[in-house]
């Protein structure tokens, strides 16, 4: 049996830009250094996803899409390396979520018993309402 290899996006498909300041504690150091990361991935040019997966990813990651680019900003930590890892992981999670084929819906029919229950309940409600209106009073 062949073991499924883990899903990885090639490093060369990312375009990275460093931004400042990142948020969080750090004082003046935070204000002087570029340790936030803006990571871009051109999903139309990637070979790791099929066309169907790319279409699902466009819908799933709509808030992060800028044309064909999936753009993720990560500025939550003080460490540039940690922010880079978090941005890559967020893109990887989005890509993984788009991979499974959605299950097709199979139309179902109501069972005979459920039809009978519905009709019986309908008759009961009808009888209650008829008695309420005084039509069946028998006078």
pLDDT in tens, 7-56: 788 888 888 888 876 555 666 666 667 788 899 999 889 888 889 999 99
* Confidence (pLDDT) at 21: 64
Q: Is 83 exposed, middle or buried (0-12, 13-18, 19+ CB in 10 A)?
A: buried
The overall average pLDDT reported for the chain is 84
Mean pLDDT of 120-137: 86
pLDDT band at 2 (very low <50, low <70, confident <90, very high): very low
* Confidence (pLDDT) at 89: 92
Q: How far apart are CA 127 and CA 66, in angstroms?
A: 61
Give the SS3 label for residue 42. Answer: strand
């Amino acid at each position: 049996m062949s073991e499924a290899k883990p899903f990885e996006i090639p490093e060369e498909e990312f375009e990275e830009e460093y931004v400042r300041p990142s948020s969080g504690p750090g004082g003046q150091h935070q204000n002087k250094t570029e340790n936030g990361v803006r990571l871009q991935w051109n999903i139309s040019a990637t070979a790791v996803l099929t066309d169907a997966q790319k279409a699902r990813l466009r819908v799933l990651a709509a808030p992060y899409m800028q044309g064909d680019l999936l753009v993720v900003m990560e500025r939550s930590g003080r460490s540039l390396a940690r922010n880079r890892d978090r941005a890559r992981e967020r893109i990887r999670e989005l890509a993984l979520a788009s991979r499974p084929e959605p299950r097709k819906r199979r139309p179902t029919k109501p069972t005979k018993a459920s039809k009978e229950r519905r009709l019986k309940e309908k008759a009961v409600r009808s009888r209650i309402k008829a008695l309420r209106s005084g039509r069946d009073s028998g006078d």
